Amino acid sequence: RSGEMAKLTQVIDNEVFRAYATYTAIVLLKMMLMSLITAYFRITRKAFVNPEDTAVFGKGESAKKNLRTDPDVERVRRGHLNDLENIVPFLGIGLLYALSGPELSTALLHFRIFAGARIVHTFAYLIPLPQPSRGLSWAVGYAVTISMAYKVLKAVLYL
């Protein structure tokens, strides 16, 4: 049993794993920030989807007018949804990649480019920046995840 624990300690002390943990924390915090931005826009635009959320703004008909969609809220929500669609695969594939024994410099390049692309994507969505900025930032992050998946399959191919 102590041999298993030593292996886990070795993983945690591994520089590539620590780099993965660092950039995973960054993109997860960025994704969590999107929830707060959504809440901010809902409150400032008075655009809610649940009747109980409108109680702060009155009762009856005055509250019902706040049950609506708002283009700014929906834009933030789409950005958040895009994070979920891209960061969740990064978490799994990035972990497998980190455990597959890549060079630290190559792993850092993958992790940094992915995190940077997701941050640029968020700014491109929220500001909004003209296309193709959002599309390119999405494609760069997606390509990084595909690259890591390819390297994992190449390293441990058990098909």
Q: Which of 7-16, 41-50, 76-85 shows the highest mean pLDDT?
A: 76-85
pTM above 0.95, yes or no: no
- What pLDDT score was predicted for residue 26? 98
Q: Residue 7 above 70 pLDDT? A: no
Please choose, from the candidates 35, 27, 18, the residue with its C-alpha nearest in 3D space to the C-alpha of residue 113. 27
Span 113-149, pLDDT tens digits: 999 999 999 999 999 999 999 999 999 999 999 999 9
* Cα 72 to Cα 61: distance, rounded to the nearest angstrom: 23
* First CA to last CA distance, the chain: 30
Q: Which of 126, 142, 132, 41 is nearest to 85 (CA)?
A: 142
pLDDT, tens digit (0-9, with 9 covering 90-100), for 12-62: 779 999 999 999 999 999 999 999 999 999 999 999 999 888 888 777 777
Instruction: Find, among 82, 159, 69, 76, the residue nearest to 118 by Cα.
Output: 82
In single-letter form, the type of residue at position 22 comes to: T
Nearest of 26, 30, 28, 16 to residue 108 by alpha carbon: 16
- Per DSSP, 68 falls in state S
C-alpha to C-alpha distance for 85 and 36, rounded to whole angstroms: 18
pLDDT, position 6: 47
Name the amino acid, one letter, at 78.
R
Name 67's bridge partners.
48
Task: Give the pLDDT band of residue 5 (cuts 50, 70, 90).
Answer: very low
Q: What is the pLDDT of residue 32?
A: 97
Handedness of CA 11, 15, 16, 17 (dihedral sign): positive
What fold is seen in the domain 15-153? Four Helix Bundle (Hemerythrin (Met), subunit A) (1.20.120)
Cβ 145 vs Cβ 90: under 8 Å: yes
